[in-house]
A and B are shown apart, each in its own frame.
Chain A
Amino acid sequence: MSPLLEVRDLTTRFYTLDGVVCAVNGISYTLEEGETLGIVGESGCGKSVSVLSLMRLIPEPPGRIVAGEALYRGRDLLRLSEEEMQQIRGREIAMVFQDPMTSLNPVFTVGDQLTEPMRLHLGMSRKEARERAAELLEMVGIPRAAERLDDYPHQFSGGMRQRAMIAMALSCSPSILIADEPTTALDVTIQAQIVDLVKALRDRLGMAVIWITHDLGVIAGIAERVIVMYAGFIVEEGPVGEIYGNPRHPYTLALLASLPRVDRTSNQRLAVIPGLPPDLLGLPPGCPFTPRCSYARPECREKNPDLQPVHSGHRVACWVDVTTGRLR
């Protein structure tokens, strides 16, 4: 069976006055029906741009998707017309953004905004959509949901706004929910509420989830498969247990080692990744992690390695086998 979503060789660039920013550099991955995929990486690694590209939400200009395919149920999203894409967005693939404050319109009530996609996509009447909106708000755990439909976003707290955003994303029962750092702006106790909520809804509605974050802790709790991105490339991909238990890319290893843990005491110094992420304006030809990598060898500077399988479903892009320290 073909996967629900198959991204092939996706490449997105931004043509700015300073030069060409290589934000996403030929990434390929798949998403199965009902699966939860985590995409992790630091700011500027291309994790958001990669999903905005397949939603066709990259501002053009300066951005441009220069190559690739994104096959959703066999249709290439990158080649659909804007009208066809509008049928997909919100209905088939919905998105929740980081900042619930800026992604809700302050001058419309929560109810207005919640009913809009249902009236647009599902052709519901005002009354039907309103009833459904109240159900949705209730489902995401907002008390007195029917009354709160007439509230404006500023009358909601941050956690409630993010719940409302999730309710909106789920309103047309999408098959894919893309969550772009949905809990980054929230406190940990609220973050725990939202993570539990998305997990419960995912299991109930059977949708696939792409969860983008820089927080390796959150991903450990929600994802089945994880993609690690660095400088617009996928450097490692695998089942969540493999990524955390048997990381094979020096960047993944170093990232995990640099994290202190709440459940353990440590009196050692934190492991450090020296230096800075590379400038995407002028990526060198080799592996982009080379200047910060403790395993780097001369060949790493010359050619960027492709993703190679190390286990079933576990792929890594590195010339060096970190378990032996030798070239693979």
Chain B
Amino acid sequence: MNDPEPLLQVRNLKKYFPITRGILIRRQVGAVYAVDGISFDIYPGETLGLVGESGCGKTTAGRTILQLYRPTAGQVIFDGVDLTALRGEALRRMRRRMQLIFQDPFASLNPRMTIARIISEPLRAHHIGTPAEQVERVQELLRLVRLNPRFINRYPHEFSGGQRQRIGIARALASNPDFIVCDEPISALDVSIQAQIVNLLEDLQDQLGLTYLFIAHDLSMVRHICDRVAVMYLGKLVELAQKDELYDHPIHPYTRALLSAVPVPDPSVERQRKRIVLEGDVPSPVDPPPGCRFHTRCPEARSVCTEEEPAWRDIGGGHFVACHAV
């Protein structure tokens, strides 16, 4: 199923946020190494999951790929064009093809705008269509996300969380993008509503041939929706593989611990499961540990892990891992 030509190639992408001190004379005293050299491809029509715990840099990675944050280093090649080299109008034209769906359906819609204005904003920004055509397009988009097109003049507060997320999805689809970064699109929703939104995202992908980067921390949902899954820890990718390969044969000790910690809604399974409980907390990305970033919590750490950074390599069949023990 892997198309030979990836839609998106991420190469050694880095994003550091400077930490400054001083009011009049600001000098940089450090940096948050939020994303520190990640590389992967996304193929047309696939869903790549990006998972990891809070603070691991997955949201920053998504936004840096979209050039909402300009990267510190590295390349993002979208359909053959290096986005990191583009500026101004050339970049703006590419943005039409890449959109973002946000986590919080309450904070991501302007409460003072009508649904029509919210959804048509990408159309106005990119000068797509006349005002009349834009209204028509908004109605079409509302039908696409299964909302009543008559809602067009209502305000966000009149909608439930699930409906607002549909509005956010309609806005993301307005400019007819090829690629959508879904940044935790269901984590703020109730369990019974999550399945509705996930099914909608899957249907839209089939209908419109979309490619998704699905950022999430719910590993059960990621297994359901994604084709391949990448695991991130403290700014680095630790493992990436086809989803069943990753979930059934995880190699990296962090992936194994992460998967073993996910509860299963079945008491008989839960009783027999062996958890790998990690000690301590994730270190700060301001001062990441040398060598392998996971060595401070890794049950299998050896002396080489504290000194040398493990290489990111394909161990066969597109299963990537960065670990000295492999």
Contacts and interface: CB of A to CB of B under 8 A. Distances in A.
Interface of A: 42-43, 157, 159-160, 187-193, 195-196, 214-221, 240-241, 244-245, 254-256, 258-263, 265-266, 269-274, 276-277, 292
B247 A269 contact: no
B244 interface: yes
Given A220-B270, A221-B267, A263-B264, A277 B224 contact: no
Given A188-B219, A196-B277, A269-B202, A42 B270 contact: no
B263 A157 contact: no
Nearest to B243: A265
Interface of B: 53-54, 160, 162, 190-196, 198-199, 202, 217, 219-221, 223-224, 243-244, 247, 257-271, 273, 275, 277-278, 281
Given A191-B261, A262-B264, A277 B199 contact: no
Contacts of B257: 189
B192 A254 contact: yes
A272 B267 contact: no
Contacts of A277: 190, 192
Given A241-B268, A262-B220, A273-B195, 18 more contacts: A43-B190, A189-B257, A189-B277, A190-B53, A190-B281, A193-B277, A196-B277, A217-B264, A220-B263, A240-B267, A245-B268, A254-B192, A260-B220, A260-B223, A261-B265, A263-B247, A270-B224, A273-B196
Name the residue in B243, B257, B277 with the highest tally of chain A Cβ atoms < 10 Å from its Cβ.
B277
A157 B199 contact: no
Contacts of B199: 269-270, 272
A157 B198 CA distance: 32
Contacts of B268: 241, 245
B238 to A, nearest CB: 13
A244 B247 contact: no
Contact of B162 (A240, A255, A265, A276): A276
A292 B162 CA distance: 15
A218 B263 contact: yes
B224 A266 contact: yes
A192 B266 CA distance: 16
B195 A272 contact: yes
A157 B267 CA distance: 30
A260 B266 contact: no
Given A263-B264, A266-B224, A188 B191 contact: no
Name the residue in B247, B257, B270 with the highest tally of chain A Cβ atoms < 10 Å from its Cβ.
B270
Nearest to B198: A270
A205 B224 CA distance: 40
Contacts of B224: 260, 266, 270
Name the residue in B265, B275, B277 with the highest tally of chain A Cβ atoms < 10 Å from its Cβ.
B265
Given A187-B54, A192-B277, A260-B223, A271 B192 contact: no
A263 B273 CA distance: 11
5 contacts: A216-B265, A220-B264, A221-B263, A265-B244, A274-B196
Contacts of B260: 192
B267 A214 contact: no
A215 B261 CA distance: 14
A209 B130 CA distance: 62
A155 to B, nearest CB: 12
Name the residue in A245, A256, A269 with the highest tally of chain B Cβ atoms < 10 Å from its Cβ.
A269
Contacts of B243: 265
Contacts of B281: 157, 159-160, 190
A55 to B, nearest CB: 24
Contacts of B261: 188-189, 191-192
Contacts of B196: 272-274
A226 B187 CA distance: 24
Contacts of B265: 216-217, 219-220, 244, 256, 259, 261
A259 B277 contact: no
A255 B270 CA distance: 18
A198 to B, nearest CB: 13
A259 B53 contact: no
Given A157-B281, A188-B53, A214-B190, A262 B262 contact: yes
A271 B273 CA distance: 26
A260 B226 CA distance: 12
A214 to B, nearest CB: 6
A146 B214 CA distance: 43
A239 B268 CA distance: 12
B198 to A, nearest CB: 6
B235 to A, nearest CB: 16
Contacts of A188: 53, 217, 219, 258, 261-262
A220 B53 CA distance: 22
Nearest to B275: A192
A282 B266 CA distance: 35
Contacts of B259: 262
Contacts of A42: 190-192
Given A191-B261, A220-B263, A258 B219 contact: no
A217 B262 CA distance: 8
A258 B261 CA distance: 21
Contacts of A187: 53-54, 217
